[in-house]
Chains A and B, each alone.
Chain A
Amino acid sequence: MLFRVDPASTVSLAEQLAVQVRAGVADGTLAPGTRLPPARELASALDINMHTVLRAYAQLRDDGILEMRQGRGASVRADAGAGTVRLVELADALLAEARKMGVALPDVLTLIQTRG
């Protein structure tokens, strides 16, 4: 898949990468099981710091989109599909909206829990 980063953007480089992987999984470019390039490779290719790529990968792992195994690198989780990605996007949107309105994270969590 195509990765692109713009250092001049206001969005962090790690976030730019994470967004693209999410989009790739959502539109099927990155099928479940697809291997992502090793962090060192991708960093060198884009001329950015390896830890930036690792941060993006870690974020995606926490979102349930990637799995990372020692020696095998990062790959798209078998159960990661458009559904997972949509959920993560909605959560991001919810948090952004809450932050804008000055609602703290615990209050947002309570809001979700009372509905669960």
Chain B
Amino acid sequence: MPTRTIPEAPPALTPHATGRERFAAATLWLPVVAISLTATLWYDRLPAVLPKQWNGAEITSTAGTEVMIGITGTIALLAALAGLVALSDAAADIRRGLVLAAGCAAGLAAGVWLVVAGLVIATGSAEPEAGAWPLFAVLALGYGLIPFALSPRRPHRRELAATAGPTTVPLGATESGAWFTTVTVPMFLWLAGGLALGAVGLTVFSILEDGAGTGGVLTLLLAAGICLTFARLRVSVDRRGLRVVSSLLRLPIKQIALDQVASARAETIRPLEWGGWGYRILPGRSAVVLTGGPGIVVERHNGTLFAVTVPDPELPVALLTTLAAR
């Protein structure tokens, strides 16, 4: 596909992972190796229960050795797998951030394990004094900076499909045009209903149990509200620009005024390339993704992109192009 690149962008990196990025993702396996190696070597010499928290010299909580290995090992393994996901082409824009987060999680997990198990092994006591060692476990968070520093900074992709000139809607000088569509996602309605029911159930439980689980009720209600917001959207293009409004809650979700619109095009939206479903915010672009499929992609004058999935996007794109050029 022929593409054009905005001039100020440095030499374009393809979404494909570079050698340095592969190496960065590989460093995420070090915590996994460290945890599994030490766990195997030390297992016979470790007591059944390990200290977990210290308050000064006093141990305030403990955890089973297997549980400790399981939790820290799983976190490190998930982080390493996240590194593999980050290498996929679709994740190119968020690759650097993803290896940073994964590195921090894996570093912390390995740090906690090494400090706790290492102290027990080194002192030969099941309840060793920690001293300043827990600080080291927290500093291990910084491990994420290694894969982050190894990954090159990627300019946001600014590729526009070269089309044979944008299509427009022939509007007379005195004529005004407006395009409307309503997109309904029944699944979100069901989800909202289910979550609201759960909230009611939990409220009853909360009242019976003297206020336990109030936070859960709020979380469920919030999730239900979000599902309801995206269950039915009205997308419009008119003199006010491109607007996305929650039809059920009458809540404006996004508005791009005509004077911000640099260009608009119809494109197939792949949810994975835009970070999933719902209201997505990625570096340099955002999107309202309800289904995979056709959608409107608008580039603003500041270079950021906004996408929304709608059926038959050609007409609204043409209208938006026409109105923005007025």
Contact = CB atoms under 8 A, between A and B. Distances in A.
Interface of A: 1-8, 34-37, 41-42, 44-48
B177 A2 contact: yes
Given A2-B179, A41-B236, A42-B180, A8 B174 contact: yes
Interface string B173-202: 011111111100000000000000000000
B63 interface: no
B56 interface: no
B176 A46 contact: yes
A46 B176 CA distance: 6
For the complex of A and B, list the 8 residue pairs with the smallest distance between their C-beta atoms, beginning with the closest. Answer: A45-B238, A45-B178, A8-B174, A6-B175, A37-B180, A4-B177, A2-B179, A3-B178
Nearest to B170: A4
Given A6-B175, A41-B236, 16 more contacts: A2-B179, A2-B315, A3-B177, A4-B171, A4-B177, A4-B178, A6-B176, A8-B175, A35-B182, A36-B180, A37-B178, A37-B180, A41-B180, A45-B239, A46-B176, A47-B176
Contacts of A35: 182, 247
21 contacts: A1-B180, A2-B177, A3-B179, A3-B180, A4-B171, A4-B176, A4-B178, A5-B175, A7-B174, A36-B180, A37-B178, A37-B234, A37-B236, A44-B240, A45-B238, A45-B239, A46-B176, A46-B178, A46-B238, A46-B239, A47-B239
Contacts, number: 56
A8 B315 CA distance: 24
A34 B175 CA distance: 25
B174 A45 contact: no
A85 B238 CA distance: 27
Contacts of B247: 35
Nearest to B312: A29
B204 interface: no
A41 B176 CA distance: 14
Question: Chain B, interface size: which category?
Answer: 20 to 34
Nearest to B171: A4
A3 B181 CA distance: 11
Nearest to A5: B176
Given A2-B169, A37-B234, A37-B236, A42 B174 contact: no
Q: Which of B176, B182, B234, B247 has the most CB of A within 10 A?
A: B176
Nearest to B247: A35
B319 interface: yes
Contacts of B175: 4-6, 8
Contacts of B179: 1-3
Contacts of B171: 4
A4 B176 CA distance: 6
B172 interface: yes
Interface string B89-123: 00000000000000000000000000000000000
B326 to A, nearest CB: 13
A115 B180 CA distance: 42
Contacts of B174: 6-8
Contacts of A37: 178, 180, 234, 236
Interface string B263-304: 000000000000000000000000000000000000000000
A1 B171 CA distance: 15
B311 to A, nearest CB: 11
Contacts of A2: 169, 177-179, 315, 319
Contacts of B181: 1
